[in-house]
Amino acid sequence: MRPSGRSPDQLREIRFTCNYTKHAEGSVLVEFGDTRVLCTASVESRVPFFLKGKGEGWITAEYGMLPRSTHDRMGREASRGKQGGRTLEIQRLIGRSLRAAVDLKALGENTITIDCDVIQADGGTRTASITGGFVALSIAIQHLLDKNKIKKNPLHGQVASVSVGIFQGVPVLDLDYAEDSNAETDMNVVMNDAGAFIEVQGTAEGHAFRREELDSMLELAEQGIRVLIEKQQQALDSV
């Protein structure tokens, strides 16, 4: 039995509140149960140094947790003077995952920065960030199309992400904190709407996982992501 009473293949309640803030070109508050992440997409008409003059754009991401988004207060990274390894790892993952859905040439010399700030954490903040980040990105791109700043939609697909794991010997979908902190194995999967994989990151500190466990987890992830992709679409349709 899962602590939340969910069945092994059941997602938490998923909610997208689009245009949650007024300044960003795209914004959404994404909720996976009690995990709440504010994703904003900011458009700037410049590109990073390494793309100067190539006629391409860039998608990048930053991630942060509010100090008391977690059970115990965490030190503020701005005050400690640097972002931790976990933060850097997560924001690199978000950026790579979203770039996989974008034709950077069609974006022109624009940079879109996806900021994912965790308001409340209850497990799965990185998968919520990718899933919500895609929605914020889509709204911002629609904004660029509406303003005629780009001609062609640079999105060539949808991207969503979910976690899977082995909890008390059973493969489960979309782990919350109670499960995550006790899981034997934890895997984050990012996929597109064509059912192909963009990222697969599985970790076993305690119990190494066998090939058949890996296979079960991948199947749960495929199934969960199919649902998330539909929910993203519904949210975007209602904007």
Residues binding a copy of itself (CB under 8 A):
21-24, 27, 34, 38, 40, 42, 44, 62, 64, 66-71, 73, 76-79, 81-89, 91-92, 96, 99-100, 113, 115, 117, 119-121, 187, 191-192, 194-206, 208-211, 214, 218, 222
* CB distance 140 to 25 below 8 Å: yes
Packing angle of the helix pair 211-237, 125-146 (nearest 10 deg): 40
Any known ligand binding at 126?
yes
Residue nearer to a copy of itself on the CB measure, 64 or 108 = 64
Beta pairing class for 58-65 and 111-120: parallel
**Shortest reach from residue 234's CB to a copy of itself, in Å:** 23
12 labeled binding residue: no
CB closer to a copy of itself out of 63 and 237: 63
CB of 40 to a copy of itself, least distance (A): 4
Q: 234, 228 in Cβ contact below 8 A?
A: no
Q: Give the C-alpha separation, 27 to 116, whole Å.
A: 10
In the complex with a copy of itself, which residue's Cβ is closer, 7 or 190? 190
Q: How far is the CB of 150 from a copy of itself (least distance, A)?
A: 19
Q: How far is it, in rounded angstroms, from Cα 182 to Cα 140?
A: 38
Print the SS3 string covering 148-189: CCCCCCCECCCEEEEEEEEECCEEEECCCHHHHCCCCEEEEE
**Which residues participate in the annotated binding site for phosphate?**
86, 124-126
**Which residues participate in the annotated binding site?**
86, 124-126
